[in-house]
């Protein structure tokens, strides 16, 4: 009987997520999704503080690697169920830290170039030595 409640919760959650994505996707391109330091630049550090612990782990991995396929992320974060990983990645995309690209038939997540430049210039952020 608990499966019915879980199923209903899942359907409602997917519906809410779809509605939010639709609303956010229909915003004007000039309207920042989050408070910004300038006309179109997000305040990266303020926005970064909104990340959950797992989202921060994903972002830190992306900071070190710049570009990773969804398969590579699934392998690295195998302790996170695939659907949850995808949801967390999409939230990070909406926060503009990452961009999603399709190459060679696979989805890749790429660190936003503007954010990447900010991170590389900040000595308080530890990047991998790969």
68-111 residue pLDDT tens: 999 999 999 999 999 999 999 999 999 999 999 998 899 999 99
Identify the domain containing residue 112 by its residue range.
Answer: 34-130
Looking at the structure, do residues 49 and 20 belong to the same domain, yes or no? no
Cβ–Cβ under 8 Å, residues 109 and 121: no
Question: What's the pLDDT band for 55 if we cut at 50, 70, 90?
Answer: very high
Q: What is the chain's Cα-based Rg?
A: 16
Looking at the structure, do residues 60 and 23 belong to the same domain, yes or no? no
Looking at the structure, do residues 39 and 91 belong to the same domain, yes or no? yes
Looking at the structure, do residues 105 and 59 belong to the same domain, yes or no? yes
Which range of 11-15, 22-26, 71-75 scores highest in mean pLDDT? It is: 71-75
Residue 47 has pLDDT above 50, yes or no: yes
Residue 20, pLDDT score: 58
Residue 17 has pLDDT above 90, yes or no: no
Residue 35 has pLDDT above 70, yes or no: no
Looking at the structure, do residues 66 and 104 belong to the same domain, yes or no? yes
pTM of the full predicted structure? 0.60
Looking at the structure, do residues 106 and 83 belong to the same domain, yes or no? yes
Question: What's the pLDDT band for 21 if we cut at 50, 70, 90?
Answer: low
Looking at the structure, do residues 55 and 119 belong to the same domain, yes or no? yes
Looking at the structure, do residues 2 and 27 belong to the same domain, yes or no? yes
Looking at the structure, do residues 94 and 116 belong to the same domain, yes or no? yes
Cβ–Cβ under 8 Å, residues 82 and 127: no
Q: Which helix (H) or strand (E) holds 106?
A: strand 106-111
Residue 37, pLDDT score: 44
Helix, strand counts (H, E) of the chain: 6, 3
Nearest partner of 76 among 61, 60, 54, 59, judged by Cα? 61
Return the bridge partners of 1, or none: none
Residue 18 has pLDDT above 60, yes or no: yes
How many structural domains are present in the chain? 2
CA torsion, points 58, 63, 69, 70, in degrees to nearest 10? Answer: 10
Looking at the structure, do residues 21 and 46 belong to the same domain, yes or no? no
Looking at the structure, do residues 17 and 56 belong to the same domain, yes or no? no
């Amino acid at each position: 009987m608990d499966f019915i409640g879980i199923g209903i919760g899942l359907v409602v959650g997917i519906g809410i997520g779809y509605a939010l994505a639709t609303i956010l996707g229909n915003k004007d391109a000039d309207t920042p999704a989050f408070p910004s330091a300038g006309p179109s630049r997000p305040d990266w550090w303020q926005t970064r503080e909104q990340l959950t612990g797992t989202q921060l782990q994903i972002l830190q991995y992306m900071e070190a690697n710049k570009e990773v396929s969804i398969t590579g992320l699934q392998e690295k974060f195998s302790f996170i169920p695939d659907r949850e990983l995808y949801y967390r990645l999409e939230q990070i995309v909406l926060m503009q830290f990452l961009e999603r690209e399709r190459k060679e038939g696979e989805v890749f997540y790429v660190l936003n170039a503007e954010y990447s430049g900010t991170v590389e210039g900040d000595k308080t952020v530890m990047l991998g030595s790969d």
